[in-house]
Amino acid sequence: MEYPITYQKYEEGLARGEFLALQCKACGSVTFPPMAVCRECSGSEMSPVSLSGKGQVRTFTVVRVAPEGKAPPYIVAMVELDEGPYVIGNLLDLDPDQATMDLMGKEVRLGSRLMKGDIYSIGDAHALTFSLMK
């Protein structure tokens, strides 16, 4: 098989502001970030699909003790996208000290930003970001 959307293509998509996802021809589930098979049914027949870029906060934390190379505090959130996938990224535009349980279920818009790589990583790469809908 040929890997449907490689990480490099996904990353280039993020750099252009696009979120490259895959929809399963068998069960209809959307897989994002892209993988070799459908996240729900392991089907390998998938076609490219675009995302609305909207979702809801399902959980979060404020990281205050960070890995070397990262500058805390920052918010990490898990968001359920309208198309079904859950993704992990950084919630921006909110003071980490203002992050409370009120964030649960809040609607957010998906984005990304370039993060600096370290000697252990494959280099600079985009991480997903979330912004609260006004």
Partner 1 sequence: MREVAILGVAMTRFGISEKTNLEMFAEVGIEAIQKSNLAPKDMGALFFGNCLGAFEEGQLHMAPFAHSELGLPVSAPATRFESACATATVAIRHAALLVAAGVYDIVIAGGTERAAKMGTPLATRTFAMASQAQHESNAGITFPGVFAMAAHMYADKYKVDLSVLKMGMAEVAVKNHYHGAMNPKAHFQKEINVDTVLGSMMVADPLQLFDCCPFSDGAAAVVIAEANKAKDLVEKPIFVAGMGQASCGPLYLQRDITRVRAREESIHQAYTQAGIGPDEVDVAELHDCFTIAEILAIESFGFYEFGKGYDAASRGETRLGGKVVVNPSGGLKAKGHPIGATGAAQVTEIVEQLRGESGARQVEGARVGLVDTLGGDLGTVCNIILRS
Positions in the binding site for partner 1 (CB under 8 A): 7, 33, 39, 58-70, 72, 74, 76-78, 80, 85-90, 99, 101, 104, 115, 118, 120-122, 125-128
Q: Which two tokens stand for residue 108?
A: 């957010």
Q: Which amino acid is at 64?
A: R
* Residue for token pair 């959130």: 77
CB of 14 to partner 1, least distance (A): 11
49 versus 106: smaller Cβ distance to partner 1: 106
Shorter beta-carbon distance to partner 1: residue 4 or 85: 85
Q: Who contacts 30 (Cβ-Cβ below 8 Å, separation ≥6)?
A: 21, 22, 23, 24, 49, 51, 81, 83, 84, 85
Considering beta carbons, is residue 88 or 133 the nearer one to partner 1? 88
